[in-house]
A and B are shown apart, each in its own frame.
Chain A
Amino acid sequence: MSSAASTFRGPPTAGRPVFQTSHLGEIEWEPECELFLPAGLPGFEAERRMMPLEIPAQRPLVYLQSLEHPEVCFVTLPVRTIDPQYQLRLSEDDRAALLLDPVRQPEIGADVLCLILLLPASGTVQVNLDAPIVVNLHNSRCIQSFSTERAAGYFRLGDDHWEPVC
Chain B
Amino acid sequence: MLVLRRRVGESIVLGEDIEIEIVEISRTRVKLGVRAPRHVTVQRREAVNVAAENRQASGMLPSYGPDGVDEVLRLLKKHLNGTAKGAGTNADM
Contact = CB atoms under 8 A, between A and B. Distances in A.
B89 A117 contact: no
A84 B53 contact: no
Tell me whether chain B's interface is mostly helix, strand or loop, or mixed. Answer: helix
B79 A128 contact: no
Contacts, number: 108
A109 B64 CA distance: 30
B1 interface: no
Nearest to B51: A43
B75 A118 contact: no
A23 B78 contact: no
28 contacts: A2-B93, A23-B62, A42-B43, A42-B50, A43-B50, A58-B73, A61-B73, A73-B58, A75-B60, A75-B69, A80-B90, A80-B92, A84-B83, A109-B92, A114-B93, A119-B56, A119-B57, A120-B57, A120-B59, A124-B75, A146-B46, A147-B46, A157-B75, A157-B79, A160-B75, A160-B79, A161-B82, A162-B79
Contacts of A144: 50, 54
B92 A108 contact: yes
A72 B58 contact: yes
A61 B48 CA distance: 26
Interface string A134-161: 0000000000101110000000011111
Given A61-B73, A77-B76, A157-B76, A44 B93 contact: no
B89 A84 contact: yes
Contact of B55 (A43, A77, A115, A162): A43
Contact of B63 (A43, A78, A114, A120): A120
